[in-house]
Structure 1
Amino acid sequence: VAFADITSFFDRVFTAVPAAIHAAGVVPAGPAFARYNSHPTDTVDIEAGFAVSEPYEGASEVSVGEDGVVAGELPAGRVATATLRGGYDLLSAAWPEMIGWVMSQGEHPGEVSWEVYVTEPTPDADPAAMITELYCTLLERSST
């Protein structure tokens, strides 16, 4: 996804995914999230959706981009986390601050990171009241 098109991507996904999982009889088990599979540049390898209470099986009639709605998993392992209180416009500063903190602790960020949108975004939402959790995978420590 082109980074400039990320808002329209989220608009499509966060409309289509609830419809697809509801049609499959699956219930969301938490707020929306976005998973970044690499560090964003002018494009981003991104997945977005909802945690679910049970496995989401098979394909869906709903299409979001080329791949439709498919099940995925967040990675297991160590992560660093931070909580952002404020609008999404603050994310561009929050991520480098978090990564800087991770590195100051002698850790190294992995490729995968994700955001959990604790506060549901709506057109009437007060940006100051929004809460977003940031998660960054950590590389395994060397045993040497």
Structure 2
Amino acid sequence: MIEPLRTVKTAPQHIALIPIQVPRAEIQKVMGPGLMELKAAVAAQNIAVVGPWFTHHVRDPGAVFDFEICLPVASPVAAVNRVKPAQWPAMTIVQTTYHGGYEGLGGAWGEFIAMIKATGHKTADGLYETYAVGPETSMDPGAWRTVLSKEVAAP
């Protein structure tokens, strides 16, 4: 199930990220280890995480996923190994929240894209998934919440 479409203006936010390119079938193999590596690097620098982790898909997913595993942080991180400092920019996004396990994300994205088209919004290539509530918080996939976002394209 997804919530109604909403439009949000984001504020700039420091992030720490790990860029990854993998075939679609391998995303589950790299996500967990990448997130653990990112969290460890941020913790080693004594920098506070200030929100839920998210992924930024640089372009809409196809056969290869070109994405970044991201953590919002209180201050810039120093680059170490694969971890890089960056900033989530101020932008206007359309978003919804999906309720359920990760296996339903594909269908949720389909619904979300249809909602975007029905409202006439034009969006930029790429997308964001913010994992607001997941297995680290609840064992019940029905309680999980993933925020789906796309940037509104400049006119």
The one-letter code matched in structure 2 to 1:90 is G
What is the rounded CA distance, in whole Å, between the counterparts of 1:79 and 1:112 in structure 2? 11
Structure with greater contact order relative to length (CA < 8 Å, sep ≥ 6): 2
Alpha-carbon offset, residue 113 of structure 1: 1.1
Quote the residue 2:45 is aligned against: 24
Offset, 1:75: 3.5
Larger radius of gyration: 1
* Structure 1: runs of 5 or more not aligned: none
The aligned runs of 1:1-144 (5 Å cut-off) are 1-57=22-78, 59-60=79-80, 63=81, 68-122=82-136, 125-141=139-155
1:50-71 CA-partner distances (Å, limit 9, x unpaired): 10011112x21xx4xxxx1112
Q: Which has the higher strand share?
A: 2
- The ranges of structure 1 where at least 4 consecutive aligned residues each deviate by more than 3 angstroms after the TM superposition are none
Q: Which structure 2 residue ranges, 5 or more long, are not aligned?
A: 1-21
Amino acid at match of 1:50: L
Aligned length: 134
Structure 2 letter corresponding to 1:41? G
CA distance in 1: counterparts of 2:122 and 2:139, whole angstroms: 35
- Equivalent residue letter for 1:4: A
Q: Secondary structure at the match of 2:124?
A: strand
Q: Give me the identity figure in percent.
A: 27
Partner amino acid for 1:19?
A
In 2, the alpha carbon distance for the partners of 1:51 and 1:126 equals 25
CA deviation map 1:87-133 (0-9, x unaligned): 01111011121111111111112112111101132497211110111
Matched-pair contact (CA < 8 Å) for 1:99–1:109: no
- The CA RMSD measured in Å over matched residues stands at 1.6
Equivalent residue letter for 2:35:
F
Separation in 1, partners of 2:86, 2:106: 25
The two structures have a TM-score, normalised by structure 2, of 0.80
Letter in 2 for 1:102: I
Which whole-Å CA distance do the structure 2 matches of 1:117 and 1:123 have between them? 11
- Structure 1 residue 140: deviation in Å? 1.6
Whether the aligned pair in 2 keeps the contact of 1:86 and 1:127 (CA below 8 Å) is yes
- Rounded Cα–Cα distance in structure 2 between residues aligned with 1:35 and 1:72: 12
